[in-house]
Each structure stands twice: as structure tokens, then as C-alpha cells.
Amino acid sequence: MVLTGAVVITGNGHTRRGLLAAVAGASALAGCGVFDSGPDVPPAPDPLQPVLVEAVALAAAYDRLAAAQPPLARRLGPLAADHRAHAAELARVMGTAAPSAPASAAATIEDLRAAERAAQRTAGTACRQAPAERAALAGSIAACRASHVEALR
Amino acid sequence: MSEELSAALAAEEAAIYAYGVIGVHLTATADIAEARAAEQVHRTRRDAVVSRLAALNASTAPAPAAYRLPFPVTGTASALKLAIHVEDGVAAAWRAVLPASEGDDRSAALAALTDAAVRATRWRRRAGVTPETLPFPGR
């Protein structure tokens, strides 16, 4: 933590950001092995992580809209369940726990359709770049997300 | 990959045959138009797979002249059910190509899997089947 010595904490947000930047800089340098040759390099994020994050966020977005508009619940429930199934399977394959969903305002059907389209692209990219053993899972998730766009018509 | 592509070719051939049967039993104009469009998509895909297999120097078996349908098709309801069955089967065949392929071949397989999943969902809605989607199309 030699790089943080010059930062004075005054309770002012600006200097606190300075501290965070300095800490980040220090760990980045440490990660490069400048100060430490130990195996501290953080592992690269799993390429399926963005697909998992979206699955969790989409399930939560469907739940919020169904809660806000109960007549939609019967239609949206199975779509949310698909995303939960994706999150569970992705977490299993990645050997990680599913992250918690971000808090956000209730979406509209139109928002969900746009989010599904974007999420389909994420999963499609993951499928194209995945090793063989993960290609089918990512591909099915991309295809499912595309079918959700159709189901929301 | 040739083995998986040949299976995808067989699924596309079966789909083309099935849509011929399906078309006869549909009555709604929109359903008939949808079936015709689907059949054309499967023909285009079939031709693309034949070309790809030829480029790979893989031999292809001729398509059977007729198929045994998984259940009798006697009217609109069973025709719609067959359409769903066919698209699910096509999705499964293309999903199997994904781990066996790379690059453009995998992209083509993904596009075919996605297309079949979307069309299966459309047929489920037309048939009044719920849920309209599968969590893992082709699995």
C-alpha cells in the first residue's frame, strides 16, 4: 500500500475517490508483478459471466413486471423460469454461485423485449467463442432468449 | 463435424417432408402462409448443408421418399402439433453441431438452432400450447 500514503482522507468524496484510484493502481501494479512475484494475479473473468449476470437480471425484471401488473403474471412466469434455469445451469458449469439481481425500476414489455435481444447477442457471442463443451449450453440460451422476443410479441 | 451435419441434413429433409403434410391440414390463411415460409427456410438450409458437406467431401445419403410420422395427422390440431415436433427436432440436430464445429460453421448452426426455436415458439402460440418456450431448445 505504498502508493496510498499521500492521500489525505477528509471525508470529501473527491479524495476518497483518489484513495480508491490509488488502491486500484496499487493492486494493478501488484498484479503485474512489479512489487510481488507471487501468484496474486486475479483469474480472468469467466467468459460466461455476462450471460449469467443477464440471466439473473432478466429473471428479476420479469418478476418485477409481473408483481406490478398481476394480469401479466401467467404469461411472464414461464419466461422468468427459463432465465432461472439458465442461471442455475450456468452457475453449475462455471462452478460459481449465481450473483444477486441488481435493483432497478419495473420494466415494460417493450423494455424486456429489448433486453432479451441484447441478451441473445451476448449468449450468441459466448457460444461462438466457447470451447466445445460449453457451446451447446450457450447456444441453447441464445436460442431461448430469441424465442422470448417472439413470445413477447 | 460431417456426422453431425449429416444428421442436421436429415432433420431438414424430414422437416421439408413434414411441412408438405402440415400444409394440407391447415385452414387459417396465416397458418398456411407461416407453413409455406417455414418450408422455404428449411429448403434453403437443406441446400446450404448439402453444399457444405460436398465441400467437406462427405458423402450424403439420399433423403427417404416418405417418412413415418410420429402420430397421425388428421386435422389442424395434429398438424400444428407436428410443426412443433419438427422444429424441436431440427433444433436438436443443429444444437449437436455446435460442439463439433468452429467459426462460420458454428455460427450457421447457431442461426439454425435459433431459427427453429423461434418458429417452435410461434407454432406453440398458434396451437395454444403453454408454455410457449423451452428453457434449453434442442436439449
Give per-10-residue mean pLDDT for chain A (153 aa): 36 40 41 53 89 96 94 96 98 93 83 97 98 98 98 95
Contact A25, A2 (CB under 8 A): no
Q: pLDDT tens-digit profile of B77-97?
A: 999 999 999 999 999 999 999
* pLDDT for the residue numbered A38: 57
Among chain A residues, CA nearest to B137: A140
pTM of the model: 0.85
Residue B97 near chain A (CB below 8 Å): no
- Alpha carbon distance, N-terminus to C-terminus of chain A: 55
What is the distance in angstroms between the Cα of A91 and the nearest Cα belonging to chain B?
15
Q: Which amino acid is at A103?
A: A
- Residues near B56 by Cβ (< 8 Å), separated by ≥ 6? B1, B2, B5
The confidence band for B115, taking pLDDT boundaries of 50, 70 and 90, is very high
Nearest of A152, A141, A147, A75 to residue A113 by alpha carbon? A152
Residue B91 near chain A (CB below 8 Å): yes
Residue B105 near chain A (CB below 8 Å): no
Helix locations, A8-131, DSSP H: 13-32, 49-68, 73-94, 109-129
Please report how the helices B29-55 and B2-25 are oriented relative to each other, as an axis angle in degrees rounded to 10: 160
What is the distance in angstroms between the Cα of B33 and the nearest Cα belonging to chain A?
17
Share of chain B above pLDDT 90, in %: 93
The interface pTM score, or ipTM, of the predicted complex is: 0.96
* pLDDT for the residue numbered A39: 62
Nearest of A132, A68, A148 to residue B125 by alpha carbon? A148
Contact B75, B25 (CB under 8 A): yes
With 60 as the cut, is the pLDDT of residue B123 above it? yes
Please report how the helices A132-151 and A73-94 are oriented relative to each other, as an axis angle in degrees rounded to 10: 170
Residue written as cell 449476470? A53
Flag if B137 and A89 touch (Cβ within 8 Å). no
Flag if B110 and A139 touch (Cβ within 8 Å). yes
Residue B116 near chain A (CB below 8 Å): yes
Q: pLDDT tens-digit profile of B48-75?
A: 999 999 999 988 888 888 899 999 999 9
If one counts every other C-beta atom within 10 angstroms of the C-beta of residue B55, the result is 8
Residue B7 near chain A (CB below 8 Å): no
Q: What angle do CA B62, B67, B72 make, to 5 degrees?
A: 170
* pLDDT for the residue numbered B59: 83
* pLDDT for the residue numbered B65: 84
